[in-house]
Structure 1
Amino acid sequence: MRRRLLMALAVLPAVAQAGVEDGATGCASAPLVAYADLPATAALPDPFLSRSGAALKRKSDWPCRRREVSQQLQAYELGEKPAPVPGSVSATLDGTALTVTVKDAGRSVSFVANVQLPSSGTPPYPALIGIGRSSLNNAELLQRGVAIINFPNDDIAQQRNGQSRNLGKFFELYPQREGAGALVAWAWGVSRLIDAIELGALPNVDAGRLGVTGCSRNGKGALMAGALDERVALTIVQESGSGGAAAWRVSDAQKAAGQNVQTLGQIVQENVWFRSSFGQFGAGAAKLPYDHHQVLGLVAPRSLLVIENTSMEWLGNQSAWTAALAGREVWTALGATDRMGISQVGGHNHCLLPASQAVEVNAFVDRFLKGTAGVATDVVHTDGSFPVERSRWMPWKTPALD
């Protein structure tokens, strides 16, 4: 019994391990399927069925399954995230400005992240990295002993409109990555920022207690940053819509039902968040071998809080609720449901955090960044009346992984 408990604890660390951006090792790599050969699947794909068709049976199977979904996400939707180059990152701190420099293949770029240290607590502090900025209860978090770091995502990859393709420091460093989406560039930049913190560039910040957050388009970026770097202990995705917490398939169904919802076919024409080839799925999201319930699941078994706004139909309110419930099944299979929360509250402006959700943010921050014991984080609720068609969207079974 003691051996099984120790194994479970090893699979489900309380916080991310410092220095481990991608901890999956020794995984077989199944070939990716060309777009023309992808079958259409109406339901949300089974998170627990590997690309070879084998069902997951053990918690130890999850890292390789996670890597499979990550490879598909990057290959079909985002573009590939460059692997870190040892010794390529350096940083300097001047007041509140942290300058991170990254070098690769004779090229060099630098970006500046602004750091706000808390007014209470004892260093080294936990920190939340805001994509662009944090739209949470920042003043309260600072008072509670949590640092806020603003990550300059537009500097890394521009996203003004469809003409922003390949613009930004990511593409200056990696010109061969032409066609990659802004979201994967931002995720890469957050990882290099974490590298700098691990190097001791922010001596008052604890590299082992880092979270990432963002709202709307920045919420999409926060999800990808947390999904693609296992050093992120807590991911808070706020009103992220299509390309974030919402599922492409369910958003299509909402649109077909007459609702004003952003779909895959529309979003690829609006901006450059996704790789240029992702547009081929515009008329057929059902051909994707994954959906965003699995992108949410890439964070597991680390901590995730999905904050939604019932009033934002354009963001796929029903779609995000359905996808988050489906994604939560990954935490259920891993025996870690209290590490994944879903909160959907309407009646407020976009990216304006209501008081009730601030309480939930504080709980997740207290437990998963500050390490406070006994904090309740089993949050799953909506003030909407959305039908959850499990037989339609989740016809698969959730295993109790050994």
Structure 2
Amino acid sequence: MRRPGLWAASTAAVVALGLAVATLDAYGTTTRPTVPAAAAAGVEDDGADCPVANTAPPATSLLPDPFTKLDGTRVTTKSGWRCRRAEIKELAERTVYGQKPAKPANVTGTVSSSGITVNVSDQGRSASFSASVSLPSGTGPFPLVLVVGGLGADTATIKASGAAVVSYNPLDVGKEGTARNAKSGAFYSLYGSTSSTGLLAAWAWGASRIIDVIEQSGGAVLRADAVGVTGCSRYGKGALAVGAFDQRVALTMPIESGTAGVPAYRSVAQESGAQPLSSGYSEQPWLGDAFGSYQSNPGGLPVDTHEVLGMIAPRGLFVMENPHVDWLGATSGSVAALGGAEIYKALGAGGNISYWSDVADGTHCAVRSEWKAPLQASINAFLKKSGTPPAVFRVSAKKAGNLSQWRSWTTPTLADDGGGTANGGTTNGGTTNGGTVNGGTANGGTTNGGTTNGGTTNGGTTNGGTTDGGTSSGSSGGTGGGCTATHRTVSSWNGGYQGEVTVTNAGSGTIDHWAVAMTLPAGEEIASLWSGTASGTGGIVTVRNAAYNGTLGAGASTTFGFTVNGPSTPPSGVSCGTS
């Protein structure tokens, strides 16, 4: 059951949807249309009132289904996700992080243009810590980015974007270099040196107390409703925990976080050269003590990191990774990000998650030019409520994971509970950003499971043709054997692009399998593919369904995705058959 003493729940953050035209963004990538950025919740945990059974799902070597509740039923509505998220949160605390306590009985402090002080007391114990503040030019109050450990996204770009930089030393809250039975820092002064809570959850707790103080300050200097967080390496692990466990954080930006951060535990255990789970557990007490039982048995974990990323949905998330250092497990990071993106898609907020590992510089925690424009766009969209999110996936061919190898579940389209919008959701049965409803997609997919003359309507193409290179609002497609296939370019860059094909059963009966044929132009080669199995990587390529997405009822749809190295010209002759 849920722990006593947590805050009462609030209603989920609500955002409106609008259709947008695909544009060429500042970093030269064609991005899909996006929904407006989702607002952060007004409370630390809006599912605190949700009952969570003291059970766990069956062990599995694949990524657990984020949409199946502990009682065995699946989430069907956006409002239902609130309590499913609460289940994921508590399972993560029980097995991965250790408990993150709720707000202590007393939190006080100060906020100035140069620093923040935090004083906490609970059950007769007290502790204090602080953070430094560096304001941008202009007049406040300012949005802010909490930089864990002073190491994260480029602070010059953050300030130039109009956000304050708050440097938070997490070691004041949970010190590294300690034994698990002798932890120290402000958190452990309150909850005991033998607490089973790991450093990452302790660091997240400290960040939440900083937000408490900003809330209480009256907003003269900093805005508590416009908080971002970033960190690199071990502090990237901490930044992920901060954003996942506090719904007041509007934008989460972990960088090169490695094992115990973004990379999926099940995948990283098999990724050559990646930091082993045993090392991630023993190097520092980052993870909770309970994780010790899973360091050689990740399949026994009731959660994985794709669900931790999903805890952030529909709020802003920009994951940055380095494919040049094997130890960082970027292949497993892309697996987790692709899995987390399915949660965003189900909530109708697919544009609110971005991922970028396609970088040239292999130096760990370097300031990278490739990330500057999407960083600015993320700050503008989620902290300043201006413009749209970057909505880009740039997966390096060096470390490209295949989600279809790691899941047996499908992604639902969560309903709107009466036609309103919630959590970046959809309205009146339609979706944006490539999500599906009633077997169809909007903005470059099919609508209501149907097509027109082999092409798509509402932003797609007709007669099987392509629209100007297949931007995110256009598609190519054809029919055959009772199914249709439409392609859209999700994003493109110099030397490649990411594509997505929507397969729809256009007949009146059920199909049990499908195959899509498409022709890649000369010089193009598939680098990675998920949610399907490909024969060939260049020229004429045939993609057949994965084991879990071959059966489609009348009007139902599914998707597979891929990245291509070479010119950014979309495939031609895209067609679907069931034989």
Give the TM-score normalised by structure 2.
Answer: 0.64
1:349 to 354, 363, 384: 363
Q: Is the deviation greater in 208-217 or in 90-99?
A: 90-99
Matches within 5 A, 1:36-185: 39-86=58-105, 88-93=106-111, 96-120=114-138, 122-160=139-177, 162=179, 165-175=182-192, 178-185=195-202
Matches within 5 A, 1:204-353: 204-254=221-271, 259-346=272-359, 347-353=361-367
The 8 Å contact of residues 306 and 336 in structure 2, kept in 1 or not, is answered as yes
Deviation at 1:97, TM superposition (A): 2.5
Matches of 1:345 and 1:380, distance apart in 2: 9
Amino acid at match of 1:225: V
CA displacement, residues 33-76 of structure 1 (integer Å, 9 cap, x when unaligned): 4xxxx743111111111111111100111110101010011111
Amino acid at match of 2:368: P
The 8 Å contact of residues 164 and 272 in structure 1, kept in 2 or not, is answered as no
The 8 Å contact of residues 338 and 377 in structure 1, kept in 2 or not, is answered as yes
Does residue 362 (structure 1) correspond to residue 376 (structure 2)? The answer is yes
The 8 Å contact of residues 233 and 365 in structure 2, kept in 1 or not, is answered as yes
Deviation at 1:295, TM superposition (A): 0.6
Larger Rg computed on CA atoms:
2
Query: Which is bigger in relative contact order (C-alpha 8 A, separation at least 6)?
Result: 1
Q: Secondary structure at the match of 1:167?
A: coil
Question: Cα distance 1:90–1:355, how it changes in 2: closer, same or farther (>3 A)?
Answer: same
Deviation at 1:385, TM superposition (A): 4.0
Matches of 1:337 and 1:82, distance apart in 2: 31
The 8 Å contact of residues 182 and 193 in structure 2, kept in 1 or not, is answered as no
The 8 Å contact of residues 98 and 112 in structure 1, kept in 2 or not, is answered as yes
Q: Secondary structure at the match of 2:242?
A: helix
The 8 Å contact of residues 93 and 201 in structure 1, kept in 2 or not, is answered as no
Matches of 1:349 and 1:401, distance apart in 2: 41
Equivalences, count: 385
Question: Cα distance 1:388–1:318, how it changes in 2: closer, same or farther (>3 A)?
Answer: closer
Deviation at 1:174, TM superposition (A): 1.3
Of Structure 1 and Structure 2, which has the larger fraction of its residues in strand? 2
The 8 Å contact of residues 231 and 253 in structure 2, kept in 1 or not, is answered as yes
The 8 Å contact of residues 261 and 316 in structure 1, kept in 2 or not, is answered as yes
RMSD: 2.2
Deviation at 1:176, TM superposition (A): 7.3
Q: Is the deviation greater in 271-280 or in 386-395?
A: 386-395
Question: Cα distance 1:365–1:395, how it changes in 2: closer, same or farther (>3 A)?
Answer: same
Structure 1, unmatched stretches of 5+, are 1-5
Does residue 383 (structure 1) correspond to residue 396 (structure 2)? The answer is yes
The 8 Å contact of residues 113 and 134 in structure 2, kept in 1 or not, is answered as no
Matches of 1:165 and 1:246, distance apart in 2: 28
Question: Cα distance 1:363–1:197, how it changes in 2: closer, same or farther (>3 A)?
Answer: same
Percent identity for Structure 1 against Structure 2: 37
Deviation at 1:345, TM superposition (A): 2.8
